[in-house]
Homo-oligomer: A and B are copies of this chain.
């Protein structure tokens, strides 16, 4: 155990979250700062002004990522913190912003403490994490880590017909900083984020120790049966596409309950002709499967496909399957994950290990350098919504765990 615990200035951090939330504020509450809009520029300018006040070295690269660094005493790989400040169109004040402003607060706390860290400590915000205006999401971190070609990202045209390159130039955030080889230059990447789910809030736990990001499997199925009279067609003569869709929904749910950490959701569904007394001839629906373990995810996919084949044969249907998305799980660094758990304990905070169900910039870093995340509760599990909320105390708790984790890696105390 450390002999004393350094602590962030929670009031300052919460005040900054509030100030940033006033940029692009929506009339009914919440905020809209879609990537590379005027609102995004104003938000960037505000955060950069705070970085400058601390005398940090600021690097802006060609995709508009901004990284501010407190130089260490030795020439060692940096301890990096970060997230994003772009938002969806009806966002709260915490998603992304918390990770950036808490990183800034951690650096300011270290500066104020008078300690000179051996490792450089940096905080960044990465362009267009949300993907609401330009696809794909996690664009800036993808370019930063070398997974997404810069040219591809710059050529991307948004939902309003404008390109990333033009909009970056327009708002003045097309920089010249080189892209580092992060496997050599980053010792650890930490991202503090709101959970965006109900677990911590429901279970009254202060800190989520994030072990990784779930893998995602999205498929669309279309079933073709026969539409017949609901009163004159005996059960044995039916080819009911709606019934088979229902059976698959129920089966997917049973899969999720029988495979460890498996999630399954039938979110979209349409049947035709959609009349009370006509047997559905057509059903189209999506299945969203998620797991933090790739082998288990593949097992869920395979069991679902077996069931679908069996049921379509049994009910005399034909079907088509279309892949919408497929990502493998991203495990985080075990050593850093243990460190977060220890940091929570040092701060006398309750914690729980969990996986992220949503995508984050951290998952781009994880294959290249030691990476993990810290979650704080989302009240009611609500996110991507103007009602998104995390209490000032929970915000401060998360920043203190982040501080402790950074200090542990930066070998200061």
Please tell me which stretch of A21-29, A193-201, A337-345 contacts chain B, meaning at least 4 of its Cβ atoms lie within 8 angstroms of it.
A193-201
A242 and B263 contact, Cβ closer than 8 Å, known pairs A198-B228, A233-B357: no
A286: Cβ under 8 A from any B Cβ: yes
Copies per complex? 2
Q: Tell me which of A119-127, A166-174, A250-258 binds B.
A: A250-258
Which secondary structure dominates where chain A touches chain B? mixed
Q: How far is the CA of A383 from the CA of B268 in the complex (A)?
A: 32
Structural contact, B237 and A202, CB atoms closer than 8 A: yes
Collect the chain B residues with CB atoms within 8 Å of residue A263's CB.
230-231, 233-235
Task: Report A105 CB to chain B, min CB distance, Å.
Answer: 25
Tell me if A2 counts as interface (CB < 8 A to partner B): no
User: Quick check: A231 and B290 within 8 Å, CB to CB?
Assistant: yes
- Of the listed stretches A66-74, A108-116, A272-280, A300-308, chain B binds A272-280
Alpha-carbon separation in the docked complex, A246 to B265 (Å): 12
Is A275 a contact of B279 with CB atoms below 8 Å?
Answer: no
Does A372 sit at the interface, judged by CB under 8 A?
no
Q: Which B residues are in CB contact (< 8 Å) with A278?
A: 265, 267
Residue A100, interface by CB 8 Å: no
Which residues between 204 and 262 of chain A lie within 8 Å of chain B, taking CB atoms?
214, 216, 218, 220, 228-235, 237, 240, 242-243, 245-247, 249-250, 253, 256-257
Q: How far is the CA of A229 from the CA of B264 in the complex (A)?
A: 11
A135 touches B (CB below 8 Å): no
What are the residues of chain B within 8 A of A257 when measuring CB–CB? 235
A315–chain B nearest beta-carbon distance, Å: 10
Flag if B230 contacts A381 (CB, 8 Å): no
Chain B CB within 8 A of A60 CB: no
How many Å lie between the Cα of A197 and that of B226 in the bound state?
13
A177 within 8 A of B: no
A324 near B: Cβ within 8 Å? yes
Q: Which of B216, B231, B232, B243 contacts A249 (CB 8 A)?
A: B243
